[in-house]
Amino acid sequence: MCNILRKIALATIVLIANGLGANAEETDTVKTFVPMGSYTADLVTNMAGGIKTGARYIGYATLGVEINPWRNGRFTFAAGSAHGGCPTDDLVGDLQCINNNENGNRPIFLLYAKYSHTIGNVEITAGIQDMTDVYGFCETSENFLNLAFYTNPVFYNTSFPTAPNTSLGVNLSWSLSDALTWHNGIFNGGEIDDDDDNKYNLKHKLNKSKGYVTISELQFSPTENATFKLGGFYHTGVENWGVYGSIGGQLWQTGDRHIDAFVSGAFSSRKEDQVTASLTAGATLTSLLSGEGKDCLGLGLATAAPVGKAWETAIELNYRYQFNDYLYLSPDLQYIINPAGTEGAKDALVGTIRLGFEF
pLDDT at 209 over 80: no
Q: Nearest to residue 156, comparing CAs of 337, 277, 246, 316?
A: 277
244-301 confidence digits (pLDDT tens) = 999 999 999 999 999 999 999 999 987 666 789 999 999 999 999 987 899 999 999 9
Domain 2-20+37-358: CATH superfamily, name plus number: Carbohydrate-selective porin OprB (2.40.160.180)
**C-alpha angle 286-291-292 in degrees, rounded to nearest 5:** 85
Instruction: Assess contact for 62 and 79: CB atoms under 8 A.
Output: yes
pLDDT at 17 over 80: no
Q: How far separated are the first and last CA of the chain, in Å rounded?
A: 39
DSSP-assigned letter for residue 162:
B
157-203 confidence digits (pLDDT tens) = 777 889 998 999 999 999 999 999 999 999 998 765 545 578 899 98
- Give pLDDT, residue 271: 67
26-77 confidence digits (pLDDT tens) = 444 466 899 999 999 999 999 999 999 999 999 999 999 999 998 899 999 9
DSSP-assigned letter for residue 200:
T
- Give pLDDT, residue 80: 97
Ramachandran class of 16: left when φ > 0, alpha when ψ lies in -120 to 50, beta otherwise: alpha
Helix (H) or strand (E) holding 6: helix 2-22
Band (332; pLDDT cuts 50, 70, 90): very high
- Above pLDDT 90, what percent of the chain? 72
Region 120-125: mean pLDDT is: 97
Region 293-318: mean pLDDT is: 94
127-137 confidence digits (pLDDT tens) = 999 999 999 98
d(CA 60, CA 39) in angstroms, rounded, equals 6
pTM above 0.75, yes or no: yes
Instruction: Assess contact for 78 and 324: CB atoms under 8 A.
Output: no
Task: Say how many C-beta atoms besides its own lie within 10 A of residue 33's C-beta.
Answer: 9
d(CA 136, CA 146) in angstroms, rounded, equals 15
- Give pLDDT, residue 311: 92
Give the lowest-confidence range in 5-9, 73-77, 225-229: 5-9
Q: For residue 353, give every residue at least 6 positions away whose Cβ sits within 8 Å of its Cβ, in sequence order, or none.
A: 42, 43, 329, 330, 331, 332
pLDDT at 14 over 80: no
- Give pLDDT, residue 292: 86
132-170 confidence digits (pLDDT tens) = 999 998 889 999 999 999 988 888 877 788 999 899 999
Residue 312 forms beta bridges with which residues? Answer: 304
SS3 at position 141: helix
Region 325-338: mean pLDDT is: 97
